[in-house]
Amino acid sequence: MNSVLDHVRPIKAQGLLIERAGRVLVNVPDITLGAVNCTAIVGPNGAGKSLLVKTLSALLVADEGEVMWGGAPPDEDRRFQVGLLLQRPVLLKRSAINNVVFALRAMGKKRPEALDSAYQALEVAGLGGLADVSADRLSGGEQQRLALARALALKPDMLFLDEATANVDPASTLAIEQQLGQAIEGGLGVVFVSHDMGQVRRLADEVILMNRGELVEQSARTDFFKHTINPVTRRWLAGEILV
């Protein structure tokens, strides 16, 4: 488990506003994440889901509002405690093992310790036999599993994923979900954006629905799918197109 000094949960934001060319893309007055183990963010394309997770993970800065990690603004000392895995992974043109080692070295680990941790991470991901293969020679699913293994090797307190399984095969989706499940059991907090409602039902403890840049509903998974009284959520679950 992470030390108290490394802790970043809960992640909170107030007054978030993101505009582009005079159009409001995100308008979230208040949101708190990390109270449960796993949160799914759903909604139509263009709802602001990706912008929200990038802002909460401090990859982007909102035009207005503040983000707080564990009661304090994002800072370099806790940068590695908040991870972000995108739909298209960013990998180095080097072996799978050295992709993980590079990240571990960047956070201050000595090379022998980094190598040991990297091999362990690849074994857990089912990629141990591909440790010496260049990342650009891996399949799309293997690349995403490598990117997740690298993120998990850093032992973050919170991990954001943006459509991490959208472009991978079913076997890789299963492997990724198993990786995440193990990490969640070990104390990792996960927030993931997905259009896969089956995946949301399998993994999430709570669900957030976004539309037009706004947070429509945030509720426990069972309440969201079975007991919601929100008319927009009901329309979304019924398969209507939200505009």
* 242 part of a folded domain: no
Give the CB-side neighbour count of residue 223, counting CA atoms within 13 A. 11
Q: Is the pLDDT of residue 1 over 50?
A: no
In a domain, 243, yes or no: no
**133-177 per-position pLDDT tens digit:** 999 999 999 999 999 999 999 999 999 999 999 989 999 999 999
Q: Is residue 62 part of a domain?
A: yes
Contact predicate 224/233, CB 8 Å = yes
pLDDT per residue as tens digits for the range 83-117: 999 988 899 999 999 999 999 999 999 999 999 99
| Number of domains forming the structure of the chain | 1
Judging by DSSP bridges, how do beta strands 189-193 and 158-162 pair with one another?
parallel
pLDDT tens sequence across 2-30? 433 458 999 999 999 999 999 999 999 99
Q: Which residues of 157-191 are buried (b: 16+ CB within 10 A; e: fewer)?
A: bbbbbbbbbeebeeebbebbeebbeebbeeebbbb
Q: Which two tokens stand for residue 163?
A: 């459509």
Q: Quick check: 192 pLDDT over 90? A: yes
What residue numbers bound the domain in which 29 lies?
A: 4-237
Whichever domain contains 227, its CATH number is: 3.40.50.300
208 or 2, higher pLDDT:
208
Residue 71 included in any domain: yes
How far apart, in whole angstroms, are the C-alpha atoms of residue 122 and residue 141? 14
Question: The whole model's pTM is what?
Answer: 0.94
R_g of the chain, CA atoms, integer Å: 18
Query: Looking at the domain assignment, is residue 168 inside a domain?
Result: yes
pLDDT of residue 6: 57
